Each structure stands twice: as structure tokens, then as C-alpha cells.
Chains A and B, each alone.
Chain A
Amino acid sequence: MIRLFLRFLLSTVCAAVLLFPLQVSAAENSFIEGIQQRGFLKVGLPPYNTPPAYYLEPGSEDLQGYDVELAKGLAEKLGVDIQFDRSSTSFNQLVKRVGADDFDIAIGKLGLTYNRLFDAFPIQYLSFRHALLADRSFVASLGVDPDDSKFGDILRQSKIRIGSIENSTWETESRANFPNAEFVGFKNWSAAKNALINYDAKSDGPTIDAIYRDATEIKPIVYDQPDLSLKYVPILFDNIIDRKSIYLSEKGRIGLYDFVDNYLRREWGGIKSDTNILDEFQSFYLPSDS
């Protein structure tokens, strides 16, 4: 009887040993296992509304946008739910926090700078040209025809006053690409736009000659208000590209990089340019034409 019991015990243990590795295979990537055990993907988003990339649907608390959809798609492939965290106070802080493992990924049109590479690990998914929306009178004051090949250098060396979101990649890029420029930081993009277009000396602080961001943020301003084209002109830098990236922590880079990379290639459609995005979301950018 004892012998029979021992045989049964041995065969049960053998069966368990043979079956157990099948379940453990998911745990070979401990980072993904952690997410799966948690049951949701933690995604850090900037605390702003940047349609059509990420924004709260007006009148509800539903997050919408292509960045949000991309994150949801990743969560779906991981077989987990999703949780967004919008408590970061700036873009730079968001990147620092993902580097510190506060989230699994950080997404939200995050640009690539040297400083951010100190904090986290990027995977590029968008390729947007840098762009200015400049006051035409400032452009004319440079005294050189915009079609002239020297125009770009003269603009970059000018004492242009550039406005954009403070503590963003645009502050860093402004200092790098326009060494003589004066950067004026604003709380958010709307404040920067207002300072250029609806300048009010009492509330807007110093005057600015241009606002700086990527082409998908600059072009919609004139699409939305075509009459602005008379006074302001989009300046698109074909040779200064903002490599918008999803950021991961060091552990995330080891555990999730290939997964995200594979998803971007197969489901997202590779790295998209600003023109791709403007075309894909034409109904948003040019509602009257769609």
C-alpha cells in the first residue's frame, strides 16, 4: 500500500515537473510577466491635451487619440488592461518618471533630446519636421528672400524670440538650433499660441516672433484659421527632424523593447512622418475638406 502510494506520489511529481515549464515559459521575460501578473499596462501620458495624439474627449473623461490607441493596442497584444497616468507636471518629468519605473511606457509625442537619453530609453515611432509659425514681418525684417539658400542660416543665427511649452523638448531644441534666439516658455501650447496671435501685453508677458513645435502642431493653426496665413507663415525644417519616441526604463528596454518594436512594425505601420499623420487625420486637421 505504501509502495503504491509512493508510486502515485512519484508519478504526480513527474507530471507536475513536466507540465510546470509550460507555464513558466511566460515568465522568462520577467518584465512582461510582471505586467501580466499585475493585469494592466501602466502608461505615462503628458498632462496636456494634444489632439489628435492624446486628449480628453470634451464633455467626458475618455482619453482619445492615436497615441492612446497605440498604447491600447500594445496592452491588447500583451493580454492585459491599460491604465493611464497623467500626473506628471511636464514632458521632461514624464520621461524621468518612466526611467524610474513609475510606468511601463511613456508616450505622448515625446521628442528625443540628449537630456532625455540620460533618463530613459526611446523607441522611435514618428518622424516630425521641426516647424515655426513665424510672424511674416519678422521674416521680412531678416532682409533675405525665403527662397534664398542662405535664408535658413540667417534665420537660425537671428535674434528671434521663440515661444513654446516650458520644460519641453522644444526649449532644448530651441537653444540648440537657434543659438542667438531668446526662448520664452509658456505653461501650455494654447498660451504660446495666444502670445503670438492674440498678444495681450498684460497677460502674455514678453512678445514673441514665432512659436516652435513640430509640423503637425504648427500646420493645424493655419488650417484652423486660414486668415492667419496673411500675417503668419509656417517655416518647415526638412533637415531638423524630431524623432518622436515611446520611452522605456532600463528594465523596460530589456523586457519590452522587442515587443514594442515588433508591434510598431507590424501593427502601427513603421515610423510615420508628419505628412502621413496630417493625411491620416485629415478629418481632424481640415474638417471642411473631409
Chain B
Amino acid sequence: MRTELERLRLIEEQLLNGPAALSAEDWQLRHLLDGELAADTDAQQRLYQGLRLAGRRQLRRELRTIHERLYGLPTNPWARLWQQLKPW
């Protein structure tokens, strides 16, 4: 992988506690050697938070589709009336 992508992976391992995450001391040392690491880590953390929100939004869309399929108004008018009047 390209160097930039490897850097994303390095930060990801640390943030998501992956199997290749560095020890606290090694991570601290990286910070001392790399002045941009803290800002990049913070930025990547925010990407994950945004992706979490986007994921929730996607899941809500899927749930609305399931709801429509299970409880949406049927084409038969009598069944539609029952769907609207039933108490649940």
C-alpha cells in the first residue's frame, strides 16, 4: 500500500485497538517523532464518528423499509382499512 494509506492503517489500528496496535510507549514515541500525528489521529477519529452517524442513518432507512414491507398499506381496500383501524 502507498505510504499515505499505510499511515491511515497505522492510526486505525491504534484507534480501533486492532491486533497491530502499538504499545502505549511506542505510540508516545511516534508522537514525539511525528509532529502531525496528533492532528491526523484526531481527524481520523472524527471520520469514524461521522461514519457512525452515517451508519445509523443507513440502518434507520433499512428499518423504515422493513416496516413498510411488514405494516405498509396493502393494495386491497378492505385489507387497507383493517391496517388503518387495527389497534397495534
Are A and B part of the same complex?
no
| Residues of A in contact with B (beta carbons under 8 Å apart) | none
Give me the interface of B with A, judged by CB distance under 8 Å. Answer: none
